[in-house]
Amino acid sequence: MHASLTMTRRGALLAAAALPAAAALSAGPHGRAHAAAAMMGGGFTPFHRFRLGGFEVTTLLAGSRAIDNPQGIFGLNVSAEEFAAVSAAHFLPADRSQNFFTPTVVNTGAELVLFDTGLAAPATQAALAAAGYAPGQVDVVVLSHMHGDHIGGMRHEGAAAYPNARYVTGAVEHNHWTAAGNEGFVNNVVPFNDQMTFLDDAGSVAPGITAMALPGHTPGHMGYMVESEGARLVLMADAANHYVWSVGRPDWEVRFDADKAQAAATRRRLLGMLASERIPVIGYHMPFPAIGHVEAQGDGFRYVPASYQFMLAG
């Protein structure tokens, strides 16, 4: 049903009389137009929080940067034409991409657990502070693997960035990097060896948080299953690092995967499980806030970003 609008002659005269006053208000108290507001540039809120059963999960935007020539990282084993076609089909440029760095905090009610520490402590701690947490409140720091963008925030100005935390990582991963003698590992992880707990597949970080072996990106790369009150969530770390070029095309080779064949097999296994069991997932390099779902599609998968599902849990 449509409402018809009519205006009397008196109403029209009153409206016309109001126009100069409205114009004066918009121009400011002295009749001068305001200068245009400055362009602020793009931006994100630095954290995103939701409930998972009795837990709270917070993703932290610890950094983001544009990358030129993404096929120098993703799709090494496909032609430039195929890479461009797949990118265009998803409304993405083929010559430039945006990378995100997303540590995750899980508050179990008993412990505050931080997964990965970012490139450097100040950025991760700034996002942590925006989310309402102080570094001294972190009870557990979990390292999915030993690449610099995951361990770079372990220390700040020579001291522990999370001084009250215990540390957890995969045994296979730690052994590999110990033998490699990597400088970043030696500087950022080795100082915490005496406070470190080493896990194998299915090992427990804390009640409701279980390690998942997801090798290939690095030899001992780990993801984690988070479970509370029947709700589940997977933190897949770097098992898949782009929502189109890795999730959508799991067999595409990735430059930073140490064992490319194993990494592709791990991706297929993990994504297949996420799709069939309808488990939401957080990916360290997914577009912020980095949480979504996976569905099977053709020979690959499709990443479906979360919308309001988790808001309904309170």
Give the H/E segment covering residue 127: helix 121-130
pLDDT for residue 27 is more than 80: no
- Percent of the chain scored above 90 by pLDDT? 85
Q: Within 10 A of 33 (CB to CB), how many other CB atoms are there?
A: 9
Q: Show the domain range for 177.
A: 47-313
pLDDT of residue 164: 98
Amino acid at 257: D
Asked if residue 28 is part of any domain, the answer here is no
What is the Cα 120 distance to its own chain's centre?
16
Report field, pTM of the whole predicted structure over 0.85: yes
Q: Is the predicted pLDDT of residue 42 greater than 90, yes or no?
A: no
Q: Each residue of 126-171: pLDDT tens digit?
A: 999 999 999 999 999 999 999 999 999 999 999 999 999 999 999 9
Residue 3 placed within a domain: no
Beta bridge partners of 223: 212
Q: If you average pLDDT over every residue of the chain, what do you get? A: 91
Q: How many whole angstroms separate alpha carbon 73 and alpha carbon 95? A: 11
Average pLDDT over residues 15-25: 45
Asked if the structure places residue 18 within a domain, the reply is no
- Identify the CATH number of the domain in which residue 250 sits: 3.60.15.10
Q: Answer yes or no: is pLDDT of 18 > 80.
A: no
Query: Mind listing the pLDDT tens digit for each residue in 162-221?
Result: 999 999 999 999 999 999 989 999 999 999 999 999 999 999 999 999 999 999 999 999
Q: Which residues, at least 6 apart from 291, have a Cβ–Cβ distance to it below 8 Å? A: 48, 50, 59, 280, 281, 282, 305, 306, 310
The predicted pLDDT at position 30 comes to: 57
Domains held by the chain: number: 1
Which residue shows structure tokens 């990494």? 263
Q: Average pLDDT of 105-113?
A: 98
Beta bridge partners of 172: none
* 3-state secondary structure at position 171: helix
Give the pLDDT of residue 31: 57
Decide if 209 is inside a domain: yes
Strand-pairing partners, residue 254, are 74
Tell me the pLDDT band of 313, cut-offs 50, 70 and 90.
Answer: confident
Distances (CA, A) of 236 to 92, 255, 283: 23, 18, 5
The CA distance from 279 to 312, in Å, is 17
User: With 60 as the cut, is the pLDDT of residue 64 above it?
Assistant: yes
Residues paired with 49 in a beta bridge = 58
State the pLDDT confidence band at 36, using cuts at 50, 70 and 90: confident
pLDDT in tens, 228-286: 999 999 999 999 999 999 999 999 999 999 999 999 999 999 999 999 999 999 999 99
